[in-house]
Amino acid sequence: MELRRVTILFGDLRGFSAILSSSPPAIVFEALNRWFVRMSEVAAAHRGTIDSFIGDAIMLVFDDARRGVACAVDMQLAMEEINHAHRATQLPEMYMGIGVNSGEVIAGVLGSKLHSARTVIGEEVNLAARIEAFCLRGQILASEATCALCDGFIETGTPLEVSIKGRASSVTLREVHGLAAPGKRVPRQEGRRSPRVQVRIPFSYRQLANDMVSQVSAPGTILDLGYGGALVELERELGLLEELRLEVELPVVGYRASDLYGRIVNAPQRGRYGIEFSSLGEPTRRAIRTLVQLLIQGVSPGR
């Protein structure tokens, strides 16, 4: 056992459960194996150590942060190659989110004579896994510790503050857009601006007309929630672009939002409406972001 400073990379397939439920087992196995083989090749090219395969996820360890982030970029580029091959053979397309973090870990061999494996453990490993959970399809998110070690080597977006389960203070992340010197860019695969979580949160709403809020309240249920909008289920039929004022008790964070306004932007099916938040106070904005971030990490709404 030894203490080491390393960079940890977690890559996880997005939407693989949908492929699993809609494709024959042989196709699922072929698609997953192609992904593992290609990611292993990319990892080896960057001298990364494969720590483990975990279902539809991969964990890599690097002694150098720059190699770790460069590997993450090449992994997303390799996903483009995989999906090109899948389109040609009518296999389902796949997308990946990658989280990267750097710090001190405990390295050693765990197990017995029956089975053992060399691995790394510690809070920095846990943080890397949490970071990956925030990724959208095709996205790479890195901690400030990793970005500091890659100063001038990578191109990143603006800082993003996220709430991490088990940590009292927020953590700053940055999206990796590409590598500065080689000119490699991460192919963007997601049009959404925030992660989303499936929920069942009851709320009430009032319609707006001529900037006046109706006195009549009606019930609804939030089915899917993101930073800037939600998919809701309503008993009434409403039209596109109608505006609503929502009141909702947000679980986990213990916050009641009463200043939340939204506009109906789509109706994917009868009784269900996509709402884009058009106006909300900063405390409500923070509460929604924190709730989404905690639910992504598996915090139960009942807590």
- pLDDT tens track for 7-40: 999 999 986 777 777 778 888 888 888 899 999 9
Question: Do 217 and 130 lie in a common domain?
Answer: no
Structure tokens that stand for 181 in this block: 């010197």
Into how many domains does the chain fold? 2
State whether 146 and 206 are in the same domain.
no
Residue 79, pLDDT above cutoff 70:
yes
Rounded-to-integer distance, Cα 79 and Cα 35, Å: 8
Percent of the chain past pLDDT 90, that is, above it, reads 72
Write down the mean pLDDT value for the chain: 91
The verdict on 155 and 284 lying in the same domain is no
Q: Same domain for 61 and 115?
A: yes
Instruction: Examine residue 189 and state whether it is found in any structural domain, yes or no.
Output: no
One domain, residues 112 and 250: no
- Structure-block tokens of residue 103: 């710090």
> What tokens appear for 68 in the block?
């770790």
Range of the domain at 244: 196-296
In a domain, 190, yes or no: no
On whether residue 303 sits in a domain, the answer given is: no
Q: Is the pLDDT of residue 109 over 60?
A: yes
Q: What is the pLDDT of residue 191?
A: 61
Cβ contacts of 186 within 8 Å, gap of 6 or more: 73, 76, 77, 138, 139, 140, 176, 177, 178
Q: pLDDT grade, residue 103 (50/70/90)? A: very high
- Report pTM: 0.84
Domain identity same for 90 and 223: no
Question: Domain check: are 129 and 278 in the same one?
Answer: no
pLDDT in tens, 266-303: 999 999 999 999 999 999 999 999 999 999 998 876 54
Compute the distance between CA of residue 169 and CA of residue 92 in angstroms, rounded to an integer. 40
What letter would DSSP give residue 93?
P
Together in a domain, 126 and 260: no
Check residue 190 and give its pLDDT: 65
With CA atoms as reference, report the closest residue to 221 among 204, 242, 196, 239: 204
The verdict on residue 149 lying in a domain is yes
Residues 175 and 45 in one domain: yes
Find the CATH number of the domain harbouring 232. Answer: 2.40.10.220
Which of 150, 179, 208 is the last residue in one of the domains? 179
Looking at residue 113, its pLDDT comes to 84
128-172 pLDDT, tens digit per residue, is: 999 999 999 899 999 999 999 999 999 999 999 999 988 888 999
CATH number at residue 98: 3.30.70.1230
Of 131, 149, 179, at which residue does a domain stop?
179
Under the banding of pLDDT at 50, 70 and 90, the label for residue 92 is confident
The 10s digit of each residue's pLDDT in 244-265 is 999 999 999 999 999 999 999 9
Last residue of a domain, one of 179, 209, 232: 179
What is the pLDDT, as a whole number, of residue 240?
Answer: 92
- Residue 61 shares a structural domain with residue 200: no
Domain identity same for 29 and 161? yes
Give the model's pLDDT for residue 302. 56
Quick one: pLDDT at residue 285?
95
pLDDT of residue 224: 96
pLDDT, tens only, 174-224: 999 999 987 789 987 666 678 899 999 999 999 998 778 888 999 999 999
Closest CA to 102 of 66, 71, 50, 53: 66
Residues 24, 139 within the same domain: yes
Is the predicted pLDDT of residue 86 greater than 90, yes or no?
no
